[in-house]
Amino acid sequence: MPTTPPNKTILLIGASRGLGYAMAAEYLKHGWNVLGTVRGMARTLLHDLADKSGNRVEIETVDICEPDQIAALRARLSGRVFDVLFGNAGITNNPRETIGEVTTEEFVRVMVTNALSPMRVIEALHDLVSPAGTIGVMSSGQGSVSNNMTGMREVYRGSKAALNMFMRSFAARHSTDSRAMLLMAPGWVRTDMGGPDGRLSIEESVPNLVKVLLSVQGTPGLQYLDYLGRTIPW
Ligand SMILES: NC(=O)c1ccc[n+]([C@@H]2O[C@H](COP(=O)([O-])OP(=O)(O)OC[C@H]3O[C@@H](n4cnc5c(N)ncnc54)[C@H](OP(=O)(O)O)[C@@H]3O)[C@@H](O)[C@H]2O)c1
pLDDT in tens, 171-182: 999 999 999 999
State the average pLDDT over residues 201-212: 98
Give the pLDDT band (50/70/90) at residue 151: confident
Q: Is the CB of 198 under 6 A from ligand 1?
A: yes
d(CA 234, CA 224): 8
Residues above pLDDT 70, as percent of the chain:
97
Mean pLDDT for the chain overall: 96
Residue 52 pLDDT greater than 70, yes or no: yes
Residue 3 pLDDT greater than 80, yes or no: no
Supply the angle between the helices 117-125 and 67-76 in degrees, to the nearest 10.
Answer: 20
State the average pLDDT over residues 47-74: 97
DSSP sequence for 84-144: EEEE-------TT--TTT--HHHHHHHHIIIIIHHHHHHHHHGGGEEEEEEEEEE--GGG-
Cα 59 to the chain's mean position, in Å? 16
- For the question of whether the overall pTM of this predicted structure is more than 0.75, the answer is yes
Say whether 170 sits in a helix, a strand or coil: helix
> What number does the ligand 1 atom closest to the CA of 138 have?
45
Q: Is the CB of 200 under 6 A from ligand 1?
A: no
Confidence (pLDDT) at 6: 57
State the average pLDDT over residues 150-164: 96
Give the pLDDT band (50/70/90) at residue 139: very high
> What number does the ligand 1 atom closest to the CA of 63 have?
32
State the average pLDDT over residues 184-200: 97
Distances (CA, A) of 206 to 22, 45, 162, 186, 229: 7, 16, 24, 7, 12
Q: Considering only CA atoms, which residue is closest to atom 17 of ligand 1?
A: 193
Confidence (pLDDT) at 4: 47
Residue 1 pLDDT greater than 50, yes or no: no
Confidence (pLDDT) at 20: 98
Residue 166 pLDDT greater than 50, yes or no: yes
Residue 201 pLDDT greater than 90, yes or no: yes
Please choose from 12, 16, 19 the residue to mutate so as to test ligand 1's pocket, defined by most ligand atoms within 8 A of CB. Answer: 19
